[in-house]
Amino acid sequence: AEARLVQAQKMEAIGQLTGGIAHDFNNLLTAVIGSLEMLIRRTDDEKIQRLASMALQAGERGAALTSQLLSFSRKQRLSPRPVQINTVVESMSDLLTRTIGAGVMVRADLARDLWRALADPTQIEVMLLNLAINARDAMPAGGTLTIGTRNISRVPASVQGELAQGEYVAIEVADTGIGMSQEVQARAFEPFFTTKAQGKGTGLGLAQVYGFARQSGGTVRITSAEGEGTRITLYLPRTRDSTEPAQIEGMKHVDGGG
Ligand code: ADP
């Protein structure tokens, strides 16, 4: 529990520090990206197009990174709504299969009659993508990635410290990869903690997943054994509200950039 508190304080400090910078940086990048896109469209000069495309790609990588930084600071606005997670998983299956690449089998183990979760669907996509990338990196020699969903009617003892009593929807992402040692498990949610080679990992993936889950009133658990594999379980609160997304769209918060 103490380690978790230290981790929460660390996330808070880094979140405050980076949140402001990332937010302003993101606005600047939006302007840069927009201008480059316009330049690419307007010019007939192939050399300029090629150079501008390279700059655009770098700008987009920068935007992806700032969005990761923003996600564990409080600066990123949430648009929570009732989400059917099974639908999100199904709509992403092509993307996930392509991300994972050949050699890894992707299986879905989706609960029938899954409850709706109250969450931001875009965040769920980002979380699943982060977890899939980690699973791929953990299975260089191939294996199986299983994405499962479950209704949770009683909060398990292991997460009682973090979750209020109530009903949750669980998403499980399990791989048959290298697994994580106790030391790695203890630090895995820390921003910038990575065991990957330089340029391969940012150490922000799981910090982002944890930040998203906490923002939604849920949490994340790691179950892992070295040489056997890893299972990441996301808990998201259930909602009984079945309002159509179109109707609650008006609640969406638009960030004015200030
Ligand atoms: P990154 O992937 O950039 O290193 P993450 O925050 O996503 O950052 O992960 C932190 C560390 O946790 C990884 O470097 C790796 O050591 C470990 N890890 C995460 N997911 C897995 C997994 N599925 N299997 C084994 N180790 C993992």
Select the more confidently predicted residue: 142 or 24. 142
Q: For atom 12 of ligand 1, which residue has the closest CA? A: 188
Residue pair 170/235 in contact (Cβ under 8 Å)? The answer is yes
| Atom number of ligand 1 nearest to Cα 177 | 24
Q: Tell the residue nearest (CA) to atom 13 of ligand 1.
A: 194
Which residue would you say has higher pLDDT here, 17 or 67? 67
CA dihedral 180, 101, 192, 33 (to 10 degrees): -170
How far is ligand 1, taken at its centre, from the CA of residue 220, in Å? 14
State the pLDDT at residue 258: 33
- Residue to probe by mutation, ligand 1, list 172, 206, 223, most atoms within 8 Å of CB: 206
Interface predicted TM-score (ipTM) over 0.95: yes
Ligand 1 midpoint to CA 171 (Å): 18
Closest CA to 240 of 171, 159, 168: 168
pLDDT band at 77 (very low <50, low <70, confident <90, very high): low
CA distance 32 to 63: 10
Question: At a CB cut-off of 8 Å and minimum separation 6, what does 185 contact?
Answer: 222, 224
Q: How many Å lie between the centroid of ligand 1 and the Cα of residue 194?
A: 6
| Mean pLDDT value of segment 99-105 | 88
Give the separation between CA 215 and CA 229, rounded to whole angstroms. Answer: 27
